[in-house]
Amino acid sequence: AAALVLLIGAAGLPLWIFAPVERVPVVVAPVVNQTGYAELDGYRAALTAELVAELSGSAAVRPVPYDRELQILRRFRSGGQDVSSREAIQALAANTGARVVIAPTLLYENGAWRARGELRDAATATNAAVRETAPVVSSLIKQTAYQLMPQLTASMDAHSGLGGSILPNAAWRLT
């Protein structure tokens, strides 16, 4: 009897370990530029697309495609409104079915660049977690801003203990 239990356990363990994990639907809000460098405003869309592309390889999250985000945000762009406004983020959450909104911000403080990502519950618009990159000192404005997006993704990966109803089973593994 013990051998039968051991055999069933040995056969079932790989099935349990390699079972697919539900990919949590997330939407990435447009990157907010809080650096004081207005020339980065024109790169907000590209930085957002880069962050979506970085998250696309995740085994734990399923980001809304950037093209779909553009469709939802079209009315805000054409109306001259801020695509990172509260109304725009609410429209993204309501029209995508995402459970989590990632609100990225590019920062320049004390001579160093950082990126911050706020993970918000789409239903309540409350922050579930905040992740930041390590500060980067550089005079290369555009290149540094671009390089911070993969670092922000890595920062979210390194702090995988998000758990709860936002990201079940602490499944914030980015591969």
Q: Convert the pLDDT of each residue in 112-141 to its tens digit.
A: 999 999 999 988 889 889 999 999 999 999
pLDDT at 165: 39
pLDDT interval class at 13 (50, 70, 90): low
Residue 41 confidence class, pLDDT cut points 50, 70, 90: very high
Name which residue leads in pLDDT, 113 or 18. Answer: 113
The whole-angstrom separation of Cα 148 and Cα 155 is: 10
Q: DSSP letter string over 13-51?
A: HHHHHTSPPPPEEEEEPPPEEESS-GGGGGGHHHHHHHH
For residue 117, list its beta bridge partners.
104, 131
Q: Which residue has the higher pLDDT, 73 or 22?
A: 73
Instruction: Assign 21 a pLDDT band (cuts: 50, 70, 90).
Output: low
Residue 110 has pLDDT above 90, yes or no: yes
pLDDT of residue 96: 93
